[in-house]
């Protein structure tokens, strides 16, 4: 019979996957700690940190969780913790407003009536 108390299980160290330079990523950074905001800011806002999330192209290989530098479409260089690879844009301007959907056509017609060249 084998004594299992003597068996030693080796722990594998998993190296984090490096993301290549030039890949579209998102970094995160705390700009102001909770409580460090201006006094005129509402209390519920003062109680949470001011966070920054920026998307851009990775300037050097890095792994998720590493400090990394990116370059944005506007050419800004930003440092932060690498949090996502190929992040999507998740914002929207909401659903279309029916009353606004015809404004362009109506304005062109109005300009034509007044002798404009739309």
Contacts of 47 (CB under 8 A, 6+ apart): 34, 35
CA angle 60, 22, 81 (to 5 degrees): 55
CB 14 within 8 A of CB 65: no
Q: Quick one: pLDDT at residue 46?
A: 92
Count of beta carbons in the 10 Å neighbourhood of residue 68: 23
pTM of the model: 0.66
Q: Quick one: pLDDT at residue 90?
A: 86
Does residue 69 or residue 98 have the better pLDDT? 69
Model confidence at 56, in pLDDT bands (50, 70, 90)?
A: very high
Q: Quick one: pLDDT at residue 49?
A: 96
**pLDDT tens, residue by residue, 89-117:** 888 888 888 888 888 888 889 999 988 66
CB 73 within 8 A of CB 56: yes
Instruction: Determine the distance from the C-alpha atom of residue 83 to the mean position of all C-alpha atoms in its chain, rounded to a whole number.
Output: 8
Q: Quick one: pLDDT at residue 13?
A: 65
Say how far apart CA 47 and CA 35 lie, in whole Å.
Answer: 6
Domains of the chain: 17-90 (2.30.30)
């Amino acid at each position: 019979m084998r004594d299992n108390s003597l068996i030693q299980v080796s722990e594998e160290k998993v190296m984090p996957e490096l993301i290549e330079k030039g890949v579209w990523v998102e970094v995160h950074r705390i700009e102001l700690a909770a409580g460090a905001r201006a006094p005129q800011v509402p209390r519920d806002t003062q109680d949470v940190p001011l966070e920054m999330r920026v998307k851009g192209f990775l300037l050097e290989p890095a792994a998720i969780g590493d400090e990394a530098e990116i370059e944005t479409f506007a050419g800004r260089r930003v440092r932060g913790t690498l949090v996502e690879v190929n992040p999507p844009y998740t914002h929207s301007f909401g659903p279309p407003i029916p009353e606004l959907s015809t404004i362009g056509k109506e304005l062109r017609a109005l300009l034509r009536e007044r002798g404009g060249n739309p």
